[in-house]
């Protein structure tokens, strides 16, 4: 069985056109050229021997001998087209495989270039968001966030579709964030203070403000998006949620996203449901 496998492996290697090697380095090329040539030489040798035996062989160059040569050796001469035809066929196969491989390499190179350019522009987009929200000292780790937004994208499998799983992870984080804030309120409580605002010379408006008894230090850190904000008023928490909504929505607005409408619509609707339910 092992011998059979070796023979089959050897035959498969012999009859394989290897585009990585030059044409003259392919075993199959020499097989289709030399085997027919050896057969033609063998046929010619048998014919020559038979002609010599019958005293019909005339090695001298003359019109009569040339006519006899063409007549007697017509079959071997016709067979000479076989190795030539086979060699041309193998050359075509070899060129075709080389062209196909070249196309694959170009495609792979384009995919890799698209991936790196996409990441470069995404990183620039993140820097723009950091500048826009610099007042909260926003920090975005682009390389970490990119892998979360485009988890299946790579140098060999480039894609511009945002992963919906990331949106789900955002709302999981929101849920924990809301629970932690609510626990802080339960433990420390809220102080209600009435504040009077002048609305002209004869009109004053008194407004109740709900202050946190202890400031809540919100340390937002999600998939490379981070900032720290101290909340002192009850309404600040809702405002901070909307702040994160703007930041994450701004990420989705990256021009290199192909399914923006789907992801942004889903995120917008789910965020509003969360606000109505919890805040």
**What tokens does 88 get?**
């041309």
- Longest CA–CA separation in the chain, Å: 143
pLDDT at res. 14:
67
pLDDT score at 198: 60
Tell me, what's the pLDDT at 54? 79
Q: Which residue numbers in the chain have pLDDT < 50?
A: none
Distance CA(226)–CA(248), nearest Å, equals: 11
pLDDT the model gives residue 27: 85
- pLDDT given for residue 25 in this prediction: 84
Sign of CA dihedral 8, 11, 12, 13: positive
pLDDT in tens, 179-207: 999 999 999 988 877 666 565 555 555 56
Sequence-distant (6+) residues with CB within 8 A of 122 are 142, 146, 149, 254, 256
Give residue 196's pLDDT: 62
Instruction: Tell me the pTM.
Output: 0.72
- Of 256, 248, 93, nearest to 167 by C-alpha is 248
- Residue 235's pLDDT is 87
């Amino acid at each position: 069985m092992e011998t059979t496998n070796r023979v089959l492996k050897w035959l498969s290697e012999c009859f394989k056109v290897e585009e990585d090697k030059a044409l003259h380095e392919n075993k199959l090329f020499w097989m289709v050229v030399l085997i027919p040539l050896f057969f033609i030489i063998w046929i010619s040798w048998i014919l020559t021997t038979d002609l010599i035996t019958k005293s019909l062989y005339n090695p001298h160059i003359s019109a009569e001998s040339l006519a006899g040569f063409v007549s007697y050796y017509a079959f071997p001469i016709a067979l000479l087209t076989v190795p030539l035809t086979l060699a041309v066929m193998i050359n075509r196969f070899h060129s075709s495989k080389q062209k196909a491989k070249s196309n694959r390499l170009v495609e792979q190179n384009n995919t890799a270039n698209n991936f790196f350019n996409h990441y470069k522009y995404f990183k620039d987009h993140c820097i723009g968001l950091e500048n826009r929200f610099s007042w909260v000292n926003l920090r975005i780790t682009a390389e970490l966030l990119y892998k979360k937004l485009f988890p299946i994208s790579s140098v060999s499998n480039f894609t511009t579709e945002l992963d919906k799983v990331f949106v789900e992870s955002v709302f999981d984080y929101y849920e924990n964030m809301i629970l932690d804030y609510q626990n802080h309120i339960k433990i420390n409580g809220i102080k209600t203070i009435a504040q009077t605002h002048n609305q002209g010379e004869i009109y004053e408006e008194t407004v109740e403000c709900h202050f946190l008894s202890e400031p809540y230090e919100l340390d937002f850190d999600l998939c490379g998006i981070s900032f720290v904000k101290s909340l002192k008023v009850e309404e600040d928490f809702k405002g901070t949620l909307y702040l994160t909504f703007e930041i994450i929505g701004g990420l989705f607005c990256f021009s290199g996203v192909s399914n923006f409408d789907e992801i942004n619509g889903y995120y917008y609707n789910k965020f509003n449901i969360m606000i109505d339910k919890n805040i």
